[in-house]
Amino acid sequence: MLVLRLLNVVAPAYFLCISLVTFVLQIFLFIPSMFRDPSTTPLFSPALLHGALFLFLSANALGNYVLVIQSSPEDLGKDLNLGNGGEVADWLDGSRSPGSALPSTHFCRLCARVTQRHDHHCFFTGNCIGSRNMRNFIMFCLYTSLACLDSLVAGMAYISATLSMSFVDPLAFLTLLPHSISQFFSGALLSSEMFVILMLYLWLGIGLACAGFCCHQMLLILRGQTRYQVRKGMVVRARPWRENLQEVFGKRWLLGLLIPVLNVESDYRRQKEK
């Protein structure tokens, strides 16, 4: 438990550090290198368009990241009749009646909260993912993947121009790291160039991981399931996939694709307010 709590603090700091490094490299290294002659650069040059695209992706990734953290799981302890004095352990052990808990709720020991429609605990956000922040979490994964792949393309263009390399051959990228390490220790490669090459592989790994996780999460949403339900073998009532999507993304789903917006309120919350 101590290791998990430490990871819950280190992982968000690691993500923010990677984001800061990516932003600095893009703004102060990759984008300026695209300008041949700034005095004659047209308004809609590739460098300016790339910079606008990167800022759009970064703003959406960071905005949804903040909303995932801000939209923390609801403290349903009182509403689920868990008992006075925080007797959560009784509910976890199954001594409470089944009617005292909502379906798909789970108590997270790291968050010390009961999350409605619990999916999993994300260490990179330091928060549980549930009904309140599922849409923002998916948007965060999507835009993080796109920002990493965008940085990968810009970094490869920078390395190709700096080291006079060609990435037409697919094997050129796979053999780039071994050759770069040997050249770095022989003194033929600068430390800054070696750092960019290492970041290329890091962006590739993060981008593919976020894209795969986003696709897997979307598949579960279409089926009306969560990772917690699949892990526990819970039976889910079959519903049309359109209703499952609307439950997570709401009717204003297009707005959530363009700008970071708060997630739709859960059905439990709406019923409670009524």
Catalytic residues: 122
Contact 264, 249 (CB under 8 A): yes
Amino acid at 42: P
Rounded CA separation 147/253 (Å): 21
Contact 223, 230 (CB under 8 A): no
Contact 208, 215 (CB under 8 A): no
What residues pair up with 122 in beta bridges, in sequence order? 127
Closest to 131 measured CA to CA, from 115, 144, 149: 115
Angle at 242 between CA 241 and CA 247, to 5 degrees: 100
Amino acid at 122: C
- Helix (H, G, I), strand (E, B), or coil: what is residue 235? coil
